Amino acid sequence: MPPSNILDAIIAQSKLSKKETAKQQKIVEAAIALFAERGYANTSTSEIAKKSGVAEGTLFRHYGTKENLLLSVIVPFLKESIPFLAKEVFTDVNPRNYKSFELFIGALLRNRIAFLNENQDIFRVVLKELLYRDELRNELFPHLQSQLFFFLNDALEWFKELGQLKDLPNPVLLRLIMTSVASYLAVRYVLSPNREADDDAEVKTMVDFITGGVGKD
Amino acid sequence: MPPSNILDAIIAQSKLSKKETAKQQKIVEAAIALFAERGYANTSTSEIAKKSGVAEGTLFRHYGTKENLLLSVIVPFLKESIPFLAKEVFTDVNPRNYKSFELFIGALLRNRIAFLNENQDIFRVVLKELLYRDELRNELFPHLQSQLFFFLNDALEWFKELGQLKDLPNPVLLRLIMTSVASYLAVRYVLSPNREADDDAEVKTMVDFITGGVGKD
DNA sequence: CTAAAATAAAAGTAATCACTCACTTTTTAT
DNA sequence: ATAAAAAGTGAGTGATTACTTTTATTTTAG
């Protein structure tokens, strides 16, 4: 494996497994559930095989190693989850369509909440493994950051022009906004998963906080 | 072990091991380093024994199980780290001594940064295990929350009186402030550990953000 | 229909794991 | 000084692990 670039390796890997058989889907499904429930290290390949109704050998025929199976689980998620890679969110939540920064951030939050509602399990897997895997994280973060920057730089400039954003450097703004959004999502989906949420109220609270803080004018 | 209450069990456990032998200290030291580096599940007891220069049997004589060793590592940290339990931070950063909410939050941030500078490794261990251990988390969070509330409720009322805080419910204020602080610390110490930081500038940025958001007045 | 090729299942395999146990050494108390 | 208690040791133990190899079944091709 020549590439020092893990992301490339991951993407290449994901392209290799073009056709997914029914059994492969079952395997991935079971892997997601088990990894999310007890973590990668605490899940054995035999358990995955059992849960997916497949022989252990089948699992290794398709994925070679347990590590590789993890990547096959994480990669498709990342490809959708680093959304600014895909054009979807771009067009779905286009800053130019929003007259105020509040509305834009609100839409962005709603978009990501909807996505995570559909992907809670795998989100947990990804988050946990990102904590454990330094190399993956070290490659992913700059990549993520530059993608976010590429997408949001424009948006930030747009709302600065409209006079709705403080005149802070864009990287600083980006960091403040994204860590707020991320920590909200992390608490909501990972740390307190069972809670029922009033989306409208919560989004409003977060948007108000991000734009106006807690201080009195 | 009767108690359904894990926290009680932990605290009881920590009280049992009153006198720490030199070897015990070595063991805990090595365990922290290894757990932080590669996680609990990926660290074997034989490795811990080897690194700390004791026989594996010694480790089990003192801690009984690997799990128990983890608790012995986590507990003392938590006792200091849920700082509002201990009076130290209370007196060190007493809200009534601060004329403005900004100054108070700044002091709080500096206090926690100083603490984490001394405890980076174990902070990483705790954070990772909290993600993996539902029961621990489910017991710890309400406890943490109520402690924080007990301490900060007063502070929030104080700064509300001074007209420096928005008239939001205290639990909401608390959540917004603490998730901001926590996510800043998490990014700084866990996700991007190797970064060198300009404390003064970063604290200022965070304080400004928490009090005033990113929106233009 | 049949032989070859691809896929799945089952039965291994060597390594590693957390943990035990019989025993020795050190510390403490009298 | 001595006995009891505590601390320390390291060679085992059975269970489990990721992975392999062998055997069986299904799919495909001529």
Question: Is residue A150 less than 8 Å (CB to CB) from chain B?
Answer: no
Provide the pLDDT for residue B84: 59
A46/A130 same-domain check: no
Predicted pLDDT of residue B15? 61
Pair A190, A126 in one domain: yes
Predicted pLDDT of residue B2: 33
**Is residue A194 domain-shared with residue A125, that is, in the same domain?**
yes
Nucleotides of D under 7 A from a protein CB: 7-12, 16-22
Backbone angles phi, psi at A176, to 5 degrees: -60, -45
pLDDT class of B1 with cuts at 50, 70, 90: very low
pLDDT level of residue B12 (50, 70, 90 thresholds): low
Kindly report the CA angle at A87 between A83 and A91, in degrees rounded to 5? 105
**Using a CB-CB distance cutoff of 8 angstroms, which residues of chain A are in contact with residue B163?**
216
Task: Examine the fold and report which residue of B22, B39, B73 is the final residue of a domain before the chain moves on.
Answer: B73
Domain of A135, in residue numbers:
93-217
- pLDDT at position B65 is 94
Residue B173 is nearest to which of A183, A212, A214, comparing CB atoms?
Answer: A214
Could you tell me if residue A85 is inside a domain? no
pLDDT exceeds cutoff 50 at B4: no
Q: What is the CATH number of the domain that holds B38?
A: 1.10.10.60
Contact across the interface for B212 and A215, Cβ inside 8 Å: yes
Q: Which of B39, B176, B183 sits opposite A214 (nearest CB)?
A: B176
- CA atoms of B109 and B215, how far apart (whole Å): 22
Q: Do B137 and A191 touch (CB under 8 A)?
A: yes
Question: Residue B10 — very low, low, confident or very high, per pLDDT cuts 50/70/90?
Answer: low
pLDDT computed for residue A136 by the predictor: 82
Domain co-membership, A62 together with A151: no
For nucleotide C10, the protein residue with its alpha carbon nearest to C1' is: A55
Q: CA(A73)–C1'(D30) in Å?
A: 40
Both A66 and A99 in a single domain? no
CB A173, CB A156: distance < 8 Å = yes
Number of domains, chain B: 2
Chain B residue numbers touching A172 (CB-CB < 8 A): 205
Identity of residue A83 = P
3-state secondary structure of B185: helix
The pLDDT assigned to B183 comes to: 92
Closest partner residue to B166 among A173, A211, A214, by Cβ?
A214
Mutate to test the interface with B, among A134, A178, A214 (most CBs of B within 10 A): A214
Asked if strand C contacts B21 at the CB level, meaning under 7 A, the answer is no
Is the CB of residue B35 less than 8 Å away from at least one CB of chain A?
Answer: no
A117 and A194 belong to one structural domain: yes
Q: Do A215 and B164 touch (CB under 8 A)?
A: yes
Q: Quick one: pLDDT at residue B94?
A: 85
pLDDT tens digits, one per residue of B177-195 = 999 999 999 889 887 777 7
Give B34-51 pLDDT, tens digit per residue.
999 889 999 999 999 999
Q: Is any atom of strand C within 7 angstroms of residue B146's beta carbon?
A: no
Query: Is residue B79 domain-resident?
Result: no
Q: What is the pLDDT of residues B92-150, one digit of tens each?
A: 788 888 999 999 999 999 998 998 999 999 998 998 888 888 888 888 888 888 888 88
Q: Which nucleotide is nearest to B45 (CA to C1')?
A: C18
Q: Is B215 near chain A, with CB under 8 Å?
A: yes
Give the containing element (helix H, strand E) for A184: helix A170-186
Q: Decide if A172 and B217 are in contact by the 8 Å CB cutoff.
A: no
User: φ and ψ at A83, to 5 degrees?
Assistant: -70, -25
Nearest CA in chain A to B191: A131
Of B101, B173, B205, the CB nearest to A172: B205
Considering the domain architecture, whether residues B207 and B177 belong to the same structural domain is answered as: yes
Q: What is the mean pLDDT of each run of 10 residues along chain A (217 residues)?
A: 53 58 85 92 94 92 91 84 67 85 93 90 88 82 83 89 93 92 89 82 95 84
Q: How confident is the model at residue B14 (pLDDT cuts 50, 70, 90)?
A: low
Residues 14-33 of A with CB under 8 A from B: none
- The answer, for A120 touching chain B at a CB cutoff of 8 Å, is no
User: How far does chain A reach from its first CA to its final CA, in angstroms?
Assistant: 57
Where residue B172 falls among pLDDT bands split at 50, 70, 90? Answer: very high
In a shared domain, residues B69 and B101:
no
B49-83 tens-digit pLDDT: 999 999 999 999 999 999 999 998 898 888 777 76
Look up residue B67 and give its amino acid: E
Q: Which of B101, B179, B182 sits opposite A215 (nearest CB)?
A: B101
| The dihedral formed by the CA atoms of B36, B41, B44 and B45, expressed in degrees to the nearest 10 | 80
A60-78 burial code (b ≥16 CB/10 A, e <16):
eebbeebebbbbbbbbebb
B134 and B56 in a common domain = no
* Secondary structure tally for chain B: helices H, strands E: 11, 0
Is the domain of B42 the same as that of B130? no
Domain-embedded: residue B203: yes
Give the integer Cα–Cα distance in Å for B163 and A102: 25
Q: Same structural domain for residues A56 and A117?
A: no
Paired tokens of A13: 């890997």
Has residue A185 been placed in a domain?
yes
Predicted local distance difference test score (pLDDT) of residue A1: 37
Please count the residue pairs, one from chain A and one from chain B, whose beta carbons lie less than 8 angstroms apart. 110
User: Are residues A191 and A107 part of one domain?
Assistant: yes
At B60 the pLDDT is 95
Does the distance separating the beta carbons of A132 and B42 come in below 8 Å? yes
Identify the three-state secondary structure at position A5: coil
> In this complex, is the C-beta atom of A100 within 8 Å of any C-beta atom belonging to chain B?
no
- CB-contacts to strand D (7 A): A 43-47, 56-57, 60, 64-67; B 19, 21-24, 54-58, 60-62
Q: What confidence tens digit (pLDDT) does each residue in A39-77 have? A: 899 999 999 999 999 999 999 988 899 999 998 888 888
